[in-house]
A and B are shown apart, each in its own frame.
Chain A
Amino acid sequence: QVQLQQSGPGLVKPSQTLSLTCTVSGDSINTGGYYWSWIRQHPGKGLEWIGYISHSGSTYYNPSLKSRVTISIDTSKNQFSLKLNSVTAADTAVYYCVRDNWVGTTNWYYFDYWGQGTLVTVSS
């Protein structure tokens, strides 16, 4: 069974960098056919996709956050990470790491495994 376990601080000061890590178990992050995404949810609000990384390190970021986001992957540790810099109170949200399953024959993508979520509060 695939599991995604998130780690990282729940409190970040304004203007600093939010850093979260997701450790994948039950499958190799180096397996083709998957992308590894971050999604966030502002309190009481809907879901916002932040971006993804492939096992080879290719990335795509939501243009709304692109200038501040970096997603990286460490296949030796079966982990991928999110960094969001210059945070403000507007970045306060629950952050999820997610497996984006890609079915190559049909080009379907869907988020099938989610981390437990981390509430990150931006406050001094």
Chain B
Amino acid sequence: DIQMTQSPYSLSASVGDRVTITCRASQRISSYLNWYQQKPGKAPKLLIYAATNLQSGVPFRFSGSGSGTDFTLAISSLQPEDFATYYCQQSYSTPRTFGQGTKVELK
């Protein structure tokens, strides 16, 4: 199985901050990397697919970059509704695997 490791585990930030979350795969996965946002008690929501593609309806302050083994999710200006947990997920091979999550909290 491909192991996905996110960092940091959690972070504290203020509204308006730029936030970055990294995800590292245990082997090269090209651009087969997706990002999700999950709020408490809700299902995850797709933000970015194939490393850099913004899902329809997702605000432009979210962006993704990277390929191979190292990936980044960036939020250019954190908004109150962005406080949540973020997961990366590889779709290079089965079984599909997720990172452990990064919780973005209000400072």
Point out residues on B near A: beta carbons under 8 Å.
1, 32, 34, 36, 42-46, 49-50, 55, 87, 89, 91, 94-101
Contact = CB atoms under 8 A, between A and B. Distances in A.
Interface in A44-100: 46-49, 51, 60, 62-64, 96
Given A47-B44, A115-B43, A108 B91 contact: yes
Q: In terms of DSSP, what is the predominant structure of the interface of chain A? A: strand
Interface of A: 37, 46-49, 51, 60, 62-64, 96, 103, 106-112, 114-117
Contact of A111 (B42, B50, B89, B97): B89
A26 B87 CA distance: 27
Contacts of A111: 34, 36, 44, 46, 89
A64 B1 CA distance: 10
Q: In terms of DSSP, what is the predominant structure of the interface of chain B? A: loop
Contacts of A117: 42-43
Contacts, number: 57
Nearest to A6: B43
B46 A62 contact: no
Given A64-B95, A112-B46, A117-B42, 11 more contacts: A63-B95, A103-B50, A106-B50, A109-B91, A109-B96, A110-B50, A111-B36, A111-B46, A111-B89, A115-B43, A116-B43
A70 to B, nearest CB: 16
A49 B95 contact: yes
Contacts of A108: 32, 49-50, 91
Given A108-B49, A110-B49, A110-B50, A49 B98 contact: yes
Contact of B100 (A46, A60, A64): A46
Given A47-B89, A110-B50, A111-B36, A60 B94 contact: yes
